């Protein structure tokens, strides 16, 4: 799902620009979008926008639930699964169940962390980079 944001071009580079999000009508009284708290985007300049122009920026919006699941819930499920497996294995190997639970949890957590890092790299690739699609004032 893509989100359109109205922005002002602040800097122009070779194929990218730095754009500042304009204040929304919803929050005209809060002031969080201006000054040092302004939201800046580095975007691909497909519309050949110049400094000072107002533009429409399209950003691929990630599902908050999917990201939260990947970062918080998946590692917790992995640790719980590893602990349960460690306790189960410890009964048959006659070793400390706490030690087995810790070791197997760590062993199962490592591939999960690697998977999360690869997922993060995939999300951060060019397909998720904001793109300027339209110049509002020429």
Is there a single domain that holds both residue 32 and residue 72?
A: no
Is there a single domain that holds both residue 91 and residue 118?
A: yes
Q: What is the pLDDT of residue 114?
A: 95
Q: What is the pLDDT of residue 110?
A: 96
Q: What is the mean pLDDT of each run of 10 residues along the chain (138 residues)?
A: 82 86 59 60 85 85 76 94 95 92 95 92 70 79
Q: What is the pLDDT of residue 85?
A: 95
Q: What is the pLDDT of residue 125?
A: 65
Q: What is the pLDDT of residue 24?
A: 57
Is there a single domain that holds both residue 41 and residue 7?
A: yes
Q: What is the pLDDT of residue 75?
A: 95
What is the DSSP annotation of 64-105?
HHHHHIIIIIHHHHHHHHHHHHHHHHHHHHTS-HHHHHHHHH
CATH code of the domain in which 6 resides = 2.40.50
Domain interval for residue 13: 2-61+126-135
pTM of the model: 0.55
- For residue 54, the 8-state DSSP code is E
Is there a single domain that holds both residue 110 and residue 76?
A: yes
Is there a single domain that holds both residue 89 and residue 130?
A: no
Is there a single domain that holds both residue 70 and residue 118?
A: yes
Is there a single domain that holds both residue 27 and residue 73?
A: no
Provide the number of structural domains found in the chain. Answer: 2
Is there a single domain that holds both residue 115 and residue 130?
A: no
Locate 71 and state its tokens: 């970062």
């Amino acid at each position: 799902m893509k989100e359109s944001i109205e922005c002002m071009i602040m800097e122009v580079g070779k194929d990218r620009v730095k754009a500042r999000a304009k204040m929304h009508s919803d929050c005209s009284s809060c002031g969080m979008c201006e000054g040092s708290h302004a939201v800046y985007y580095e975007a691909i300049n497909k519309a050949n926008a110049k400094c000072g122009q107002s533009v429409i920026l399209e950003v691929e919006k990630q599902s908050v639930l999917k990201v939260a699941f990947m970062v918080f819930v998946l590692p917790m499920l992995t640790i719980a699964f590893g602990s349960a497996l460690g306790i189960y294995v410890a009964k048959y190997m006659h070793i400390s169940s706490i030690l087995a639970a810790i070791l197997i949890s760590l062993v199962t957590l490592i591939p999960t962390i690697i998977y999360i890092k690869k997922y993060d790299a995939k999300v951060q690739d060019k397909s998720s980079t904001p793109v300027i699609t339209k110049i509002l004032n020429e």
